[in-house]
Amino acid sequence: MKKIILTGDRPTGRLHVGHYVGSLKRRVELQNSGEYDDIFIMIADAQALTDNADNPEKVRQNIIEVALDYLSCGLDPAVTTMFIQSQVPQLTELTCYYMNLVTVSRLQRNPTVKSEIQMRNFEASIPVGFFTYPISQASDITAFKATTVPVGEDQLPMLEQTKEIVRKFNSVYGDTLVEPDILLPDNKACLRLPGTDGKAKMSKSLGNCIYLSDTKEEVRQKVMSMFTDPNHLRVEDPGNVDGNPVFIYLDAFCRDEHFEKYLPDYKNLDELKAHYTRGGLGDVKVKKFLNNVLQEELEPIRQRRKEFEKDIPAVYKILEEGSKKAEATAARTLADVKRAMKINYFEDTELIEMQSKKYTE
C-alpha cells in the first residue's frame, strides 16, 4: 500500500515554535526521508472560518504567512504538495456524505471541540459548521487516502473520529476509504510547548508565542523575559525544573552539542537541571543558553523566509499549483465514494438498463 501523508494548519496567525517542534520539523524530516509516496500539507482556511466567520480577512491575510513559514522550514514544493483547503470543493462534498455516518452525541463527546467551545464562549450558540469540523477533517484526511497524519496530541480525537467514519463507511458501502494513523512527536516536551508566560498553550491572544518569523532581537527579548520557577528568587535558592517553561523549551530544543558550544561547564541537560534543582544556578544564565540554542535553530529559517518574501506571487503560484494537484486527487476519491454509495447514476449502465426494462417489458 502507498504511504501518504496529509496534515495541515488553520491560517489564523503566523506559526510559532510550538508548531515547529510539535509538527513542522517532523514534516520536513518525513519529507526528506524519501519514504512517502505523496505528501499533502493543507492550509485549512475553511476550518479556520468555522470559528472566524465574521473575520474572513484575518484568514485571508494569514494564508501567505503560513505558506512562508512552511517554505522557510524546508518544505519543498517539488516534493510536498501545499494547498488551500477551500480550493478543493470535493472536501466539502465528502463532508456532506460523512455527516450521515456520525451522531450528534458522538460529536458532543469530542474533548478538543469541547474545550474549544469553552475557550470561545460558544456554549450558548455553537455554529453548526464549527460543531461538525471533525467530520470535515475526516474528509481532508480520507480524500487523499492518507495513511499517516503527523499532528500534535490535541488532534487525537479528530483522528479517532476519522477512523470511525472510515470503518463505518467501509462496512456500509464496501471497502473504499483508508484508515489513517496519527504520528505524534516522539519527544514529550514537543507534545505541547507552553507559552513563554508558563500558560499551558501558546496562543496569539495571550501574546506568549515565539514566532518562526520573529527577529533575532524579538526572540532574545522573549526568552529573557520568560516565566520560570516563581519560587526561585535568588541564585542560591533551589529551583524547580518540572513545569518550568525554560527547561521544557530546552527539553524540546537542546542537544548535547549545544553545551560544548555555548555552555561547556555542563555536559548535558541533566547536569544543568541537577545544578538548578540543587541551587546556585541563576535564571539569566539558563535563559542566555536557551537563547543561543533557539537562535541556532531559527536563524536558517529566518534566512530562507527572507528569500521567499522577495517573490510573493511565486508563493501564491506554489499554492495554486498545489491546490490543482490536490483537487485532482480528491476528485478520484470522491468518484470512488460515489460509486461505493451508488450515487454514480450516469456511469451505472446496469441501473439504466434495469429501469428501462422495468418500463418497457
| Closest separation in Å from C-beta 141 to ligand TRP | 5
Of the residues 88, 149, 250, 263, which one makes contact with ligand TRP according to CB under 6 A: 149
* Residue 69 vs 140, nearer CB to ligand TRP: 140
How far apart CA 219 and CA 298 sit, in angstroms, is: 9
Read off φ and ψ for residue 270, nearest 5 degrees. Answer: -60, -40
Instruction: State the binding string over 2-21 for ligand TRP (x if CB under 6 A, else -).
Output: ----xxxxx-----------
| Closest separation in Å from C-beta 304 to ligand TRP | 22
Residue given cell 519560587 in the structure block = 231
Give the pairing of strands 38-43 and 80-84.
parallel
The count of chain residues that interact with ligand TRP, using the rule CB under 6 A, is 13
| Closest separation in Å from C-beta 47 to ligand TRP | 5
Which three cell numbers, joined as nine digits, stand for 36? Answer: 512517502
- From 66-74, 149-157, 225-233, 241-249, give the range in contact with ligand TRP by CB under 6 A: 149-157
- From 147-155, 193-201, 261-269, 308-316, give the range in contact with ligand TRP by CB under 6 A: 147-155
- From 1-9, 181-189, 227-235, 322-330, give the range in contact with ligand TRP by CB under 6 A: 1-9
Instruction: State the binding string over 227-266 for ligand TRP (x if CB under 6 A, else -).
Output: ----------------------------------------
Task: Tell which positions 152-171 bind ligand TRP, by CB under 6 A.
Answer: 155
| Closest separation in Å from C-beta 8 to ligand TRP | 4
Q: What angle do CA 28, 140, 181 make, to 5 degrees?
A: 60
347 HSE (CA, 13 A, CB side):
9
Which three cell numbers, joined as nine digits, stand for 159? Answer: 483522528
Of the residues 110, 137, 196, 329, which one makes contact with ligand TRP according to CB under 6 A: 137
- From 28-36, 56-64, 137-145, 313-321, give the range in contact with ligand TRP by CB under 6 A: 137-145
Which three cell numbers, joined as nine digits, stand for 269? Answer: 541537560
Q: Which residue is nearest to ligand TRP (CB)?
A: 44
**Distance from CA of residue 177 to its chain's centroid?**
22
Of the residues 5, 49, 67, 151, which one makes contact with ligand TRP according to CB under 6 A: 151
In the three-class reduction of DSSP (H, G, I as helix; E, B as strand; rest coil), residue 290 is classed as: helix
CB 165 within 8 A of CB 173: no
Fill in the DSSP letter of residue 227: -
| Closest separation in Å from C-beta 143 to ligand TRP | 10
- When asked if residue 291 is in the footprint of ligand TRP (CB under 6 A), the reply is no
* Residue 149 vs 272, nearer CB to ligand TRP: 149
Strand order in 4-9's β-sheet? 80-84, 38-43, 4-9, 148-150, 181-183
How far apart CA 232 and CA 170 sit, in angstroms, is: 57
Q: What is the dihedral of CA 99, 103, 108, 109, to 10 degrees?
A: -110
Task: Tell which positions 20-49 bind ligand TRP, by CB under 6 A.
Answer: 44, 47
Q: What angle do CA 209, 86, 112 make, to 5 degrees?
A: 50
- When asked if residue 141 is in the footprint of ligand TRP (CB under 6 A), the reply is yes
How far apart CA 195 and CA 210 sit, in angstroms, is: 8
Residues at the site binding ligand TRP, with contacts judged by CB under 6 A: 6-10, 44, 47, 137, 140-141, 149, 151, 155
